[in-house]
Amino acid sequence: MSLIGVSMLEMRQIIEQACLPDRCEVSCTDGNSLTIRLAQGQNLEEGVTLTGVSLQSLNSCRDLVNLVGQLHALRDNPPMPLKAIA
C-alpha cells in the first residue's frame, strides 16, 4: 500500500494509534519531517523524542511499521543523558 494521498492528519492518527497504549504526539512544523514524542503515561516530558523523520521515507505500511518499531526500541532503551565534564 502506498501512502501517497494520505493527509498529514491521517498520518498522525495512524502513528499515534499504532503506539497505543503509550501516549504519542506527532508534529510536522516544516512540512518535510516529523517530530514524534512517545511516553508511557501522560507526561511526555519523561518520554523520548524522535526528530527528523522524513516524510519522503514513509512510502508504505512497512515503513510505518518500522518507524513504530524504532519508537518502541527507543522507548525501551532510551539514550543515556550527557553529563558535563567539570
Q: Identify whether 45 is part of a domain.
A: yes
Q: Which residue has the higher pLDDT, 79 or 1?
A: 79
Q: What's the structural domain count of the chain?
A: 1
Q: Which of 44, 50, 4, 40 is nearest to 20 (CA)?
A: 40
Query: How far is Cα 17 from Cα 26, in angstroms, rounded to an integer?
Result: 11
Domain assignment present for 61: yes
**Spatial CB neighbours of 82, under 8 Å, sequence gap ≥ 6:** none
Q: Is residue 1 part of a domain?
A: no
What is the pTM (predicted TM-score) of this model? 0.79
Q: Which three cell numbers stand for residue 41?
A: 503515561
Mean pLDDT of the chain: 85
Which sign, positive or negative, has the C-alpha torsion 69, 56, 30, 11? negative
Q: What is the pLDDT of residues 23-56, one digit of tens each?
A: 999 999 888 899 999 988 777 777 888 999 998 8
Q: Which domain holds residue 70?
A: 8-76
* Banded model confidence at residue 17, pLDDT cuts 50, 70, 90: very high
